[in-house]
Amino acid sequence: MHPTRLATDVFSEWAEQGRDIGMEKGHSASVSEMLESAIPNLPQPFSAIDIGCGNGWVVRKLTTLGASRAEGVDGASEMITNARVIDPSGTYHVENLPEWTPETQFNLVHTMEFLYYLKNPQEMLTKIHDEWLEDGGWLIAGVDHYLEHKASLDWPDKLDVHMTTMSIDEWKMLYKMQDFRT
């Protein structure tokens, strides 16, 4: 079966239904752990961007953790609408990825549950490495859809969207190909 829906359409619907709040609650602990591992290794203050930022909760968290500049980008317009309502002074972009590139680079690029929606995650990782990150910058990426996570394997059919399914080792290899540590 070939997926017929765009992930950005699904997530815009979820934002309209208030499901963005559940996504925040469901990922809060793992995102906190990821940020706590990266931030001590960054210059202070640091700059950061959250890819697939949803309602902007990670952007707001980054600001409280010392980011002098924190931005969010998402292709789901209703997610960005919610982010701007919650955080009117925040910087949020509605953009198509991987085509879009930010105007400036960042010390930290964060993404949770985004990369596997791309047909070619390697292309995005190359762009992050070459165009999004400052020298010495960090990428932290959460991926919950992978071959060994059996409960996630029916997600593409349930949502009727494309997801790139790879093993943990295949994901690690993509990161290593861009000189990211795993």
Determine contact, residues 142/113, Cβ cutoff 8 Å. yes
Tokens of 9: 């359409």
Tokens of 51: 């890819």
The number of distinct structural domains making up the chain is: 1
For the entire predicted model, the pTM comes to 0.94
- State which residues of the chain have pLDDT below 50: none
The answer to whether position 73 is within a domain reads: yes
| pLDDT tens digits for range 140-162 | 999 999 999 999 999 999 999 99
Beta bridge partners of 71: 49, 91
**Backbone phi, psi, residue 166, to 5°:** -135, 160
CATH of the domain at 101: 3.40.50.150
Determine contact, residues 72/47, Cβ cutoff 8 Å. no
The answer to whether position 33 is within a domain reads: yes
Tokens of 61: 């968290």
Which pLDDT score is estimated for 3? 73
Q: What percent of the chain has pLDDT over 90?
A: 91
The answer to whether position 2 is within a domain reads: no
Which pLDDT score is estimated for 1? 58
The answer to whether position 130 is within a domain reads: yes
Which pLDDT score is estimated for 182? 61
The answer to whether position 1 is within a domain reads: no
The answer to whether position 122 is within a domain reads: yes
Domain extent at residue 107: 7-177
